[in-house]
Amino acid sequence: MKKTDQNNRSKLIAQAELIKARMNTTAASVVAYRDGQGDYGDMSEQSQQEWLFVNRNSANTRELTLIENALRRIQEGTYGICSRCDKAISPQRLKAVPWAECCVQCQDQLAGGGTLALA
């Protein structure tokens, strides 16, 4: 395993742990808030908190999946190679987006429909 891959692996593992901790903390706070008694205003606040939790959790889950895929590619020896064109992904891109599956050019083509893809 290359030294840069080892560094990125460490960063990815740390990021995954941070996301998991954030997800657990958020879940605990939503559950703790729910245990209290309240009026309609409190119920509205609870509903909003749950909605935010679900959306954050979805985003965190997507990011965690991207990180786990990158860790798998490091293990397989394909990390840093574009999954579309098989060219090397620039070190600058991997530094900015360590879970990137595609080089900038291929990512631009994927995002050409006006949507922003994360990988």
> 37: pLDDT confidence band, cut at 50, 70 and 90?
low
The pLDDT assigned to 4 comes to 76
Answer positive or negative: Cα dihedral of 116, 25, 96, 62: negative
CA atoms within 13 A on the CB side of 52: 10
Domain boundaries, the chain: 1-79, 80-119
Reported pTM: 0.68
Q: How many CB atoms are located within 10 Å of the residue 12 CB? A: 20
**pLDDT tens digits for 39-86?**
766 666 666 767 777 778 888 889 999 999 999 999 999 999 999 999
**pLDDT tens digits for 1-20?**
677 788 889 999 999 999 88
